[in-house]
Every structure is written in C-alpha cells, then in structure tokens.
Amino acid sequence: MSETPLDTQMLDDLKTAMKAGDTTARDTIRYTMSSLKNARIDKGGTLSAQEEIAVLQRDAKRRQESIDQFRAAGRIDLVDKEEAELAVLKRYLPAAMSDDEVTQIVLEAIAETRASGPRDLGKLMPVLVAKAAGRADGKRLSEAARAALSSS
C-alpha cells in the first residue's frame, strides 16, 4: 500500500517525538497509525483523505468521551493525559468550522433539501455531514440544524 501525505507527516512527527523524548506524542501517533492501518485492512485497500479524517475523528471522539467520563469521576490525572493526547490528534484534523460557518452550511442545506421543520432532520443531516467535510462533528451540526429548523 502506498504512503499517504498523512502517513509521511505522522512518521516525521513520530521520529521528532522520539528524539525529543515526548512519550505522549509518540504513543498517540503510534496508536493513531495503528488505527489507520486497521481501517485499511478492514477496507482491503488504501483510504481516501476523507476516510483518514473519519478515523482520526473517531479516535478524537473516543478521547473526548474519556475526558468527560474521567472528569465526572474526578480523575484529573487521567483527564490531563487524555487532553494531551487529544491535542496531538488535533494536529492532523482539519481546522474546525466557526459557528458562523456552521450556521451558513445549515442554511444552505435547508435551502437545498427544502427542509421545513424538525421532522426533516433525517434528510438534512447527510447533506450537512457532506458539506462539513470533517470540519464539524455530527452533534454540533445536529444542534445547529435543530435550532434553525425549530425557528423556521
């Protein structure tokens, strides 16, 4: 399988982290590279850039969920560890959309799908996810869509 630009960047960052003794970055990059490799095996071939982003987002979401759970349990030591790993992962994710950008794509998608109320959320979400292209998570898109649809 051919190496993607993301693979090249991660390998370079892994070498840098190892030389600097940054165990958090080293371990996070190794774990993420493993997730990407498993996704390629599951697919039986190379991943598109969008599929790579989806794998990274899934790993980031897992870490965010862990942060929330550890915070609720009062395990600040583990919260700090997960937050540091999440920060490393975010280096490889596309920049998040601003609230204005999310609102704009919601309005565009509503116009495209002719959604008129909360019952149309099902046909609106696939369009939103495609338009966001990995720059906003589903929960954020759903909340913005619900707000826009309930006010219309």
**Which of 3-7, 49-53, 117-121 has the lowest average pLDDT?**
117-121
**Which of 18-32, 69-83, 112-126 has the lowest average pLDDT?**
112-126
- Alpha-carbon distance of 115 to 88, in angstroms, equals 38
**Are residues 105 and 34 part of one domain?**
no
Angle at 89 between CA 29 and CA 79, to 5 degrees: 105
**Are residues 47 and 117 part of one domain?**
no
pLDDT digits (tens, 9 = 90+) for 24-65: 999 999 999 999 999 999 999 888 888 898 899 899 989 999
CATH code, domain carrying 128: 1.10.10.410
**Are residues 80 and 60 part of one domain?**
yes
**Are residues 85 and 16 part of one domain?**
yes
**Which of 28-42, 72-86, 87-101 has the lowest average pLDDT?**
87-101
**Are residues 86 and 12 part of one domain?**
yes
Confidence of residue 125 (pLDDT cuts 50, 70, 90): confident
**Are residues 81 and 9 part of one domain?**
yes
CATH code, domain carrying 86: 1.10.1510.10
What percent of the chain shows pLDDT beyond 90? 47
CB 30, CB 13: distance < 8 Å = no
Instruction: Say what the pLDDT of residue 131 is.
Output: 82
Question: Which domain covers residue 47, as residue numbers?
Answer: 5-90
Name the DSSP letter for residue 117: S
Q: pTM of the full predicted structure?
A: 0.73
Number of folded domains in the chain?
2
